[in-house]
Amino acid sequence: MNRDAALVPPLPRVDPAPGTVDLSYGMTIGIERTRGGRLWACWVGGADGPQGFFILACSDDDGATWSPPRLVIDPHDPALGVARRTLVGSLWCDPLGRLWLFFDQSLGYFDGRAGTWAIRCDDPDAASPAWSEPRRLWHGCNLNKPIVARDGAWLLPVSLWDRRHQWGGFEDAHRDLDPLRGAHVLASTDRGESWHDRGHVVMPQPQFDEHQLIERRDGSLWLTARTALGLHESLSQDGGRTWSAPVPSAIRQPVERADWCAVGGNSTRHHLSRLRSGRLLLIKHGARIDAAPATRTELCAFLSEDDGASWRGGLMLDARSAVSYPDATQAPDSTIYASWDRERSRLGEILMARFREEDVLAGGCASPGSATGIIIRNSPR
């Protein structure tokens, strides 16, 4: 087995022919809005496992209708004798208006190293968007959008998973990376031309980390991460180079019982970002900050005006069961767009909502154009 096959750049498929993409599974990655108003959505096809690959589609009518797949990242190659998959990543429009797709590539489920890759579209509003060649940034994987710090640095959350997720012939691979396993921050000071690992923190009972970064008004970085014990958090006073000892967060998320978790249970992703108003947006499970349902249900949005010390509002985006993995972005007119998935294997639904801060505070979609439960894609089954 060639363990370096994961270092070979994948070949993106632009505007694949109808019927050539398996649409029977759907796990959301994220949503982004361009300067021209186009919405892009990304999700995982195949499975939440070695069969995974990325699908991107777009909408030019504010989410009312969506295109067929416009871009597919599928690195599978039967000649390898082992799955080479793409499973984790994020969509992000940078301050220059360019659309980035960050994605990981690994052999099997996790080969002990994986790799964070990026491609970029400099004109994502074009009739035929062109994408750059994929380039590998570092090890590990990214799931949430970068942030732009006040000093201009771009900070990308990347996780190098722990060894418990290695299987399928990779149990002993890449032990040299063991001291680096944890929730990392990659930094770019040249608008994405180069990236370097700035620092990391190790969470207790880490579960993919899936960490979010917020720069607080006092200049500190606030990191919130998924663990088998629930959401934990850490602070950095030096731009992500060093971190405080992680502690449980006051933000509660579900921790479902799961046989594969030796300690704790199966938790889930949350979304945390700063809005144009200066408020923080949080999307989590449960209608209270300090409590959560037992399972992945009740996706709800909240706002904070004091950097997460307290939260207001509570807009229920989806109260149904098996809803998960929220992501969000905000347009120049302050409209917020959020995406999530529902019943990944049975329905494979990718959904979205449009709303404004006043809707979150009011606890309902009352502003013009606001709506939730908008379908981006359904399984064809």
What's the mean pLDDT in 54-58? Answer: 98
The pLDDT assigned to 228 comes to: 94
Q: How far apart are CA 317 and CA 290, in angstroms?
A: 18
What is the reported pLDDT for 379? 64
Residue 259 has pLDDT above 80, yes or no: no
Average pLDDT of span 55-74:
98
Q: Using an 8 Å Cβ cutoff, are 227 and 269 in contact?
A: no
Q: What is the pLDDT of residue 263?
A: 64
Give the span between the Cα atoms of 190 and 96, in whole angstroms: 12
What are 115-171's pLDDT values in tens digits?
999 999 999 999 999 999 999 999 999 999 999 999 999 999 999 999 988 888 899
Q: What is the pLDDT of residue 307?
A: 98
Task: Give pLDDT tens digits for 185-210.
Answer: 999 999 999 999 999 999 999 999 99
Contacts of residue 50, defined as CB under 8 A and 6 or more positions apart, other chains included, come to 83, 85, 108, 109, 168
Sign of CA dihedral 195, 197, 198, 201: positive
R_g of the chain, CA atoms, integer Å: 19
Residue whose token pair is 């509570």: 314
Give the tens place of pLDDT for each residue, 289-318: 999 999 999 999 999 999 999 999 999 999
Cβ neighbour number for residue 151 with a 10 Å cutoff:
9
Burial class, 309, CB count within 10 angstroms (exposed 0-12 / middle 13-18 / buried 19+): exposed
Report the pLDDT value the prediction gives residue 168, as an integer from 0 to 100.
83
Q: Determine the pLDDT at residue 13.
A: 98
What rounded mean pLDDT belongs to the chain?
Answer: 96
Bridge-partner residues for 341, per DSSP? Answer: 324, 350
Q: What's the CA gap between 116 and 254, in Å, rounded?
A: 28
Find the DSSP H helices in the chain: 357-362
Of 357, 284, 361, 271, residue with least CA distance to 318: 284
- β-bridge mates for residue 81, sequence order: none
Measured between its terminal Cα atoms, the distance across the chain in Å is: 36
Query: Whole-angstrom Cα distance, residue 87 to residue 89?
Result: 7
Q: Which CATH class is domain 3-377?
A: mainly beta
- For the chain, which residues make up each domain, given as ranges? 3-377
pLDDT for the residue numbered 104: 98
- pTM of the model as a whole: 0.97
- Interval 75-109: pLDDT, tens: 999 999 999 999 999 999 999 999 999 999 999 99
**Cβ atoms within 10 Å of 253's Cβ, excluding its own:** 20
Q: In this prediction, what percent of the chain has a pLDDT beyond 70?
A: 98
Compute the average pLDDT of residues 25-42. Answer: 98
